[in-house]
Structure 1
């Protein structure tokens, strides 16, 4: 799974409805999240740590939906959704089956799939008064992440609309979903291109175990298909030092296509050559920083003009300076020095 970080503000959102029901301190410790970071609005945690915390909290509550609904989404519900969807021939049939099951599992939040010409939407009905934006985003994350896995590609989200007002924090939602977030709208809707609904379900039941073993961390960051053009481009870049990366024309030649074709195909996957280079630089920076590389070394290795340019880019990627990021990573590790691994919370997904 590609490295990614998530604001600690979303950790606090997950705790909002659950903190009075369970002692969260040991759960945070096992997930590798420093409790002190909860009060730091700029802190970020790895997607792996957030995913581990999600599973630990779900197990403690016997609720995979953070106690956000009057009815618990009991442990094993997500696996049930996946198994049901796998037996459908197309994505549209799979999503209809999934949304119907959610209507059985939950009382307050009821998703439905609608197709209107070229646009499809996953509508989410809720109680008369709008609930927290986090609840809508959490449910959409589950449905969208599953949909991407079923068809083996990232499904670009055109826009997200919510009935409630804009929350105090939504930067990560723009990264996870879409830059186009609209609030105070008549209904909750996640919009995407209707053409993808006709795509066949490409997954086999034998692949389900691997998907569940990586959940939910594998749906917390943008879905990546290792066979996609974007991932093949990134693999090509990782094999070369940033100073030797080709131009767009040069990269297109490596894949036996024109620059305009490469640009168009990447756009179809919601990517651009510039964003791919930024993602690879970010991952390399985090990996090398955790191995004690100096910022001056990293600036040179990653092709930045100077250390200050690297500092600025790193803060944009992670929300903090390299030194502060490393301090948080160190503080979030357990006695063994490692973040709590998936095996520690396997019972949360059956």
Structure 2
């Protein structure tokens, strides 16, 4: 049996030696999910101050409902909360998912032949470590449905999301690609931050369902498992920050635009006409298709600047003027105003205290 590795050992890299160059090119996470994790800990007598310090999240960040944190910060919070509770499911099941369970789950699924076998092994393992929530794959020629079978009253959306992220994140890594989520129906009531959960799952996220389930495309069951023990080591080093964030649709026009923008310094980001030409379409077509996705080119750029700013503030020693200049702001004051508009707090509030 593989050696059990604690979350501290597994995620220590995230806390001590984050790589700014690597991590700044990621999305961000609503402070509402930070609050949800902290509430899980508080119910079991663990104060938030130590968890926030371990995550590198300034307490003032929680004062604004619009505030966001980087995936690395949230991954560190995930780590710290699981360590404090000795539970990788944050005390949301009557049976704790003890530290090291996810590592053993990875080893159990790694030798699978394809997505279907991997999903079966993942579901069987989760059945051994949780009592109240089960993941039951139902595979047919039209889709792969994962039932989230729970006992009694519906769980919170945060509980469903915590479990699904572990299962889905591992499955995507095993087959070497991001699997689209087609639909997600949950028994629970719609939370106030449902839009944030739609970013994690998909646009077709519904609530008050008779049974909870998530649908994936049928072909993911046939995808071969491509990972090895060597790649598993790298995967665990960066988990869970490497699979927490998921855009609505990786094949959408917005996702293609984000990919191009990430490959260029913000000071050199092209105008809409130029990026439309690079994508072989007219500017009017680009605007029309983005409107269908509920976005504009400017909102995509603003969101990406916001996320780059959050990551730089959290994980680098760059000064605010340096960050403002790197992100293409003419003056630090303009950056401060934009950041406060985006998140509701000052840039300095994202600096780690202590």
In structure 2, the residue matched to 1:293 is 321
* 1:102 correspondence with 2:129: no
In structure 2, the residue matched to 1:338 is none
Structure 1 residues 206 and 70: alpha-carbon distance in aligned structure 2, compared to 1, 3 A threshold: same
8 Å CA contact 1:150–1:201 kept in 2: the answer is: yes
Structure 1 residues 176 and 293: alpha-carbon distance in aligned structure 2, compared to 1, 3 A threshold: farther
Q: Which runs of 5+ in 2 are unaligned?
A: 1-22
1:279 Cα deviation from its structure 2 partner: 6.1
**TM-score, normalization: structure 2?**
0.74
1:241 Cα deviation from its structure 2 partner: 0.8
In structure 2, the residue matched to 1:138 is 162
In structure 2, the residue matched to 1:91 is 115
What is the root-mean-square deviation in Å for CA atoms of aligned residues? 3.7
* 1:247 correspondence with 2:274: yes
1:245 Cα deviation from its structure 2 partner: 8.1
In structure 1, the residue matched to 2:209 is 185
* 1:5 correspondence with 2:36: no
Structure 1 residues 68 and 231: alpha-carbon distance in aligned structure 2, compared to 1, 3 A threshold: same
**TM-score, normalization: structure 1?**
0.75
8 Å CA contact 1:22–1:61 kept in 2: the answer is: no
Deviations 1:90-121 (A, max 9, x none): 11110110011101110000011112332211
| Aligned residue runs from structure 1 range 50-69, under 5 A | 50-69=74-93
| Aligned positions, number | 309
Cα distance in 2 for residues equivalent to 1:85 and 1:167: 32
* 1:200 correspondence with 2:224: yes
1:278 Cα deviation from its structure 2 partner: 6.0
Cα distance in 1 for residues equivalent to 2:30 and 2:300: 22
Task: Report the secondary structure of 2:264's partner residue.
Answer: helix
8 Å CA contact 2:184–2:214 kept in 1: the answer is: yes
In structure 2, the residue matched to 1:328 is 349
8 Å CA contact 1:237–1:280 kept in 2: the answer is: no
8 Å CA contact 2:70–2:310 kept in 1: the answer is: no
Cα distance in 2 for residues equivalent to 1:94 and 1:293: 48
In structure 2, the residue matched to 1:27 is 51
Cα distance in 2 for residues equivalent to 1:298 and 1:240: 7
